[in-house]
Amino acid sequence: MSDERPRREIRTFGRRDGRPLSKRQQHLVDDLLPRLAIPDSDEDLTAEILFGGPRPLWLEIGFGGGEHLIRTARANPDIGLIGAEPFIDGVAKALTGVDDHSLMNVRIHSDDIRQILPRIRPGSLDRVFILFPDPWPKRRQQKRRLIQPSFLDELAQAMAPGAKLRFATDVKSYADEALWRILQHGAFNWHAECADDWRLDPPDHEPTRYQLKQLGDCKPVWLEFTRRAN
């Protein structure tokens, strides 16, 4: 008999349950979410599979309450936007925004992004947002942070050459670690030329509810990267 045991997956987020959903939110989770969910199949995920035809494909990882996701989808109706979020109350809020604005360019994965990232056809993503991910601030928890070499391997494979990655955090240790890990990985170029490039909100940024709460230990740090050509 083999002594090998299944590896326990490292979670990059806390508990998934939140406050009870409203009657409308529960209806949207039951009725709308299945229509927007990423299909469960062996097919590569492409714009054609997800949205019925070719279009730029963007991804937001950990969209929280969906504020940035919804505003970005509304401002860019010609793109296809995938949102991944494991917290059901955040998913319900995003579904409310999709329903209120009759958005047709959003698809939602209501779980860990690492479940579907390997399925995205290589070179398909044109833009990626990772905005204020769970910082796991205690030293013993930091191995749970999303920005890890294996995650960056999969992300780099899914992104097209020249695709943009935006990472933001308001926790200094995470900003330092993420910048170091992403630059060490080798697949991304960082384009900051002066302090304002990482201190100031990007002109096209849509503030999130978490960002406005100012819960971190520093002002938001904005790290903008471009996927290198192979």
Give catalytic residue positions.
134
Cβ(86)–Cβ(13) below 8 Å: yes
Q: Could you give the CA distance from residue 111 to residue 82 in angstroms, rounded to a whole number?
A: 12
Determine the Cα angle at 108 with ends 127 and 183, to 5°.
35
Best CA proximity match to 81, nearest among 65, 105, 100: 105
- Residue 212 C-beta-side C-alpha neighbours within 13 Å: 9
Beta-carbon contacts of 28 under 8 Å, excluding residues fewer than 6 positions away, are 92, 95, 96, 99
Handedness of CA 106, 108, 113, 118 (dihedral sign): negative
Q: Is 33 helix (H, G, I), strand (E, B) or coil?
A: helix
Best CA proximity match to 209, nearest among 107, 137, 131, 108: 131
